[in-house]
Amino acid sequence: MQEKRPLVEALEKFHKNSPISFHVPGHKNGLLSNLPELIRDAMQYDLTELNGLDDYHHPEKAIKEAEQLLTKLFNTDESFFLVNGTTIGNLAMIYATCQYGEQIIVQRNAHKSIFHAIELVGAEPIFVSPKWDEQSKTASYVSLEVIEEAIQQFPFVKAVVLTYPNYYGVSSPDLENIIRLCHKLQMPVLVDEAHGAHFQSHKGFPKSALLYGADIVVQSAHKTLPALTMGSFLHIRSQFIDSKKVNKYLRMLQSSSPSYLILASLDDARSYVERYSPMDFKQLMDRREVFIQALETIPLIKVVQVDDHLKLLIRVGKYSGFQVQQAFEKQNIYVELADPHQVLLILPLLKVEHEYAFAEIRKRIKHAVDNLKKESPDLKNNVFHIEQKSISTLQMSMEQLSENQGEWIPYVRTIGRIAKGMIIPYPPGIPLILPGEKITVPILTELEEWIEKGALFQGEHRLEEKLIYVVEE
């Protein structure tokens, strides 16, 4: 067991010496801050790269030792702590494997950071569409057959980028065979495993993509492990990718003033995974089952289980997920996301010693459902999902887009037009419309559905005015 937490211990040792700050940050160990007391206390550990605390971009002591323990735990060539989130890991892995004009196969329901990375590099994306999973009512994984077809059509692609698991906790039975196929062709597989950092903690969870042979895997430690927001891991185990090249881009892209609070939390999260025991997992699963059974005694509630045991989907009769989310929030229960069908709960990776108020939560959810019954349900019987082509490309490249003017027009008149702005329901952060894509009837149908249900959007849009940014004709 890896009981050691080198970076946490270095911070504690430094703090015990009552250091006087004549360095950044300017809050001076929290002295000048007017934030709440609990936050000010934590600011005593919000330090910079001082003697004894190592250098994040050239680690030789505590940070290096902590990352070496992470490398050993995940059995990789090299693993890194990320302080700018999985977003920066996605950017670095694509910069390290693709150059301007080269083709890259990418899962169409990837996170926006993947598409941003491809745009910044100037690579040409080849989109592969995932299968529709009726149980979770989400786009899930890309099949081996679709990857084979894409490689046949575009034999010079440089890499394949996949998302595993999807946001809702659905894994892929084809991932290992896809990786094996790509490796036969000397092609690396890059995996955004943002929602799978906890998979290493017990064999009862789905396997990490690393165990299937993925070349680079990026994980959001802050999503399911006890790390601070923006804390992530990047793992490399590959014969096709030079870890020094990845590290170069990490140094270029990440902050030169890393947060030691985030770094320490990553050191702690790594230790948490290492110390997670079979008894912890059994206790978690027992409590989870009792919780599910208690929820299912509430009239109208349906609980949907997926591959990842930390994810639960809750549906309430004919009420949309957005209605359910609002009802829950009135009881101070905040879910990960809502969609037209359901809400998504992310359970904590509990250990035996942890208490969690499942009984109180069940009570509040019952109140929420009782209040919801006073409203009219707005979930349609034929709730959408887009039937996309298995393999597609952009109708207009990023370079061409930059050379063409754009115009704002009512979205009902955009069928057949080329999008110039990205539109992203958030969460989950998966673009509905990408710049350079042709807008179709199914896409507009889904957009109207999201708008009608009260979804929030990121990207370049004026949806409050019912306008979309498209290439000028």
What is the helix (H) or strand (E) element at residue 133, kind and residue range? strand 132-133
Mean pLDDT of 429-448: 90
Q: Does pLDDT of 382 surpass 70?
A: no
Q: pLDDT, tens digit, for every residue of 173-190?
A: 999 999 999 999 999 999
Rounded CA gap, 470 and 146, in Å?
30
Please compute the mean of the pLDDT values over residues 32-45 and round it to a whole number. 96
Mean pLDDT within 234-248: 96
- For the question of whether the overall pTM of this predicted structure is more than 0.85, the answer is yes
Average pLDDT over residues 391-400: 91
| Mean pLDDT score across all residues of the chain | 95
pLDDT tens, residue by residue, 311-327? 999 999 999 999 999 99
pLDDT at 381: 55
User: Which pLDDT band holds residue 428 (cuts at 50, 70, 90)?
Assistant: confident
Q: Which two tokens stand for residue 20?
A: 């006087």
Model confidence band, residue 442 (pLDDT cutoffs 50, 70, 90): confident
Give residue-wise pLDDT tens across range 57-84. 999 999 999 999 999 999 999 999 999 9
Residue 426 pLDDT: 86
Mean pLDDT of 349-378: 96
Which pLDDT does position 309 carry in this prediction? 98
Q: What is the pLDDT of residues 213-235, one digit of tens each?
A: 999 999 999 999 999 999 999 99
Q: Return the pLDDT at 378.
A: 83
Q: Please, which contacts does 58-65 make with residues 24 or more away whose CB atoms are closer than 8 Å?
A: 61/6, 61/10, 62/6, 62/7, 62/9, 62/10, 63/6, 63/7, 63/263, 65/4, 65/6, 65/7
Q: What is the pLDDT of residue 179?
A: 98
How large is the average pLDDT for residues 148-174? 98
**Are 155 and 134 a contacting pair, CB within 8 Å?**
no
Q: Which pLDDT value is given to residue 386?
A: 59
Q: Which helix (H) or strand (E) holds 67?
A: helix 62-74
